[in-house]
Structure 1
Amino acid sequence: MKIISSPLELKEHLKNIKLSVGFVPTMGALHEGHISLIKKAKEQNEMVVVSIFLNPTQFLKGEDLEKYPKKDEADKKICELSGVDVLFFPNSCDIYGVDEVSILSPKVRGYVLEGQSRPGHFNGVLTVVMKLLNIVNPTRAYFGKKDAQQLNLISLMAKQLFMSVEIVPVDTVREKDGLALSSRNAYLSKDERVEALKISSSLRLSSAMVSKGVVDAKEIRAAMREVLAPLEIFYVEILDREFNRLERVEIGNTVILVEVKVATTRLLDNIWL
């Protein structure tokens, strides 16, 4: 596995390669969810590039940039054992300059759900993803479905800016008890982790209600909120795949999304129906 920190060096390394390239952008603190993205990239491409970059522009003032989990050596070993060909490990000064050009998220889709409580967050996400995609120029790029709004906005950016990369969604990986894997799970105490299980429980309830013929979105949201109590709820929403609010669940076109705060930790999850 080759480790490169310079964007120009990576572009030079990749420019004459005639292989299909799968790209997995991450912020580090890798877990089984990231490994599933790498596996999918290896299945579908001849070469795999992973980036580890803790992007400062997607963190708002007072958020957890400084305490975000960092496991650099462990992450390198995980990438090596997973068969990654190139690990891109830049510093912030490699990615950002002075008086930056930036990508703005959509005025509606970028400022609802997570974007409502974190205004400007998705500007940072889209800007860094655009930079990374331009550096790597992959055939396909892989993103987890757990961050459904992020996935939707990145897919929209690729489509509207006529980018040649294929954005590939990958299913959420969970612990045996149902908790969706997240680097921020490391913040949770034992008791907080038990509380966090209310998230997946609420989503299982919504799926069970739909399987029994309950498709009224208002009724499902209310039942989910009862399960989530007394957690601080940022949103419980039922949307179509284009992120429009639904009054009734449409099988094959619905995402049910939750974001809550467990103690001081924001956690989000969803299911696709």
Structure 2
Amino acid sequence: MSQPVVVDSVAALRAQIRDWRRDGLRVAMVPTMGALHDGHISLVRIALQKAERCVVSIFVNPTQFAPSEDLDKYPRQLARDLDQLGAAKADLAFTPTVGEMYPAGFATKISVGGPSAGLESDFRPTFFDGVATVVAKLLLQATPDCAVFGEKDYQQ
């Protein structure tokens, strides 16, 4: 079993996707925060039914954690995640750093208003804005033909 190609920069991500598009291939994306489980792997399988290439992002997004939440305790198990992605035949893992996703001077964010009222944002006020911002960034960085999200992401 081989692991997917791993890139940690937007430039490398875009270069690989550009090569695939030159070959006429469709690209699907599965955004994750890592600590992959069977649900994530099922999303990879769906992505590969919809496109010839699958990109899985693995990024623990600090902007969706409130100051009172422990970002540092979020599970990180990249080697295990890459093994699982290899077994599922994902093509590329995008593993950016916080600095790559939110470089110095970064100022743009998405603010989710009305639709988030009465949901998770009642308890975690920065959550939806952080999720919406990072998902928009990932989609703009990868420009996939489709993205696959799980049921847990439905609320988001």
The alignment's TM-score, normalised by the length of structure 1, stands at 0.53
Task: Give the fraction of aligned pairs with identical amino acids, expressed as a percent.
Answer: 42
Gaps (5+ residues) in structure 2?
A: none
Equivalent AA in structure 1 for residue 109 of structure 2 = S
User: In the alignment, which of 54, 64, 85 is matched to residue 48 of structure 1?
Assistant: 54
CA contact (8 A) 2:30 2:47 kept: yes
CA deviations 1:105-139 (Å, max 9, x no partner) are 1x211232111111121111011001100111001
SS at match of 2:71: coil
Matched, 1:26 2:29: no
Matched, 1:121 2:121: no
Looking at structure 2, the residues matched to 96 and 119 of structure 1 have their Cα atoms a distance apart, in angstroms, of 20
Higher helix share: 2
SS at match of 1:24: strand
Looking at structure 1, the residues matched to 153 and 17 of structure 2 have their Cα atoms a distance apart, in angstroms, of 28
CA RMSD between the two structures: 1.1
The Cα shift of 1:14 comes to 1.1
Structure 1 ranges of 4+ moved more than 4 A = none
User: In the alignment, which of 9, 14, 24 is matched to residue 11 of structure 1?
Assistant: 14
Looking at structure 2, the residues matched to 19 and 146 of structure 1 have their Cα atoms a distance apart, in angstroms, of 29
Q: Which structure has the bigger radius of gyration?
A: 1
Looking at structure 1, the residues matched to 154 and 118 of structure 2 have their Cα atoms a distance apart, in angstroms, of 12
CA contact (8 A) 1:56 1:65 kept: yes
What is the number of residues matched between the two proteins?
A: 149
The Cα shift of 1:98 comes to 2.8
Flag the structure with more relative contact order, 1 or 2, with Cα contacts below 8 A and sequence separation at least 6: 2
The alignment's TM-score, normalised by the length of structure 2, stands at 0.91
Gaps (5+ residues) in structure 1?
A: 151-273
CA contact (8 A) 1:24 1:51 kept: yes
Superposed counterparts of 1:72-221, under 5 Å:
72-99=78-105, 100-105=107-112, 107-150=113-156
CA contact (8 A) 2:65 2:71 kept: yes
- Residue 75 of structure 2 is matched in structure 1 by 69
Higher strand share: 1
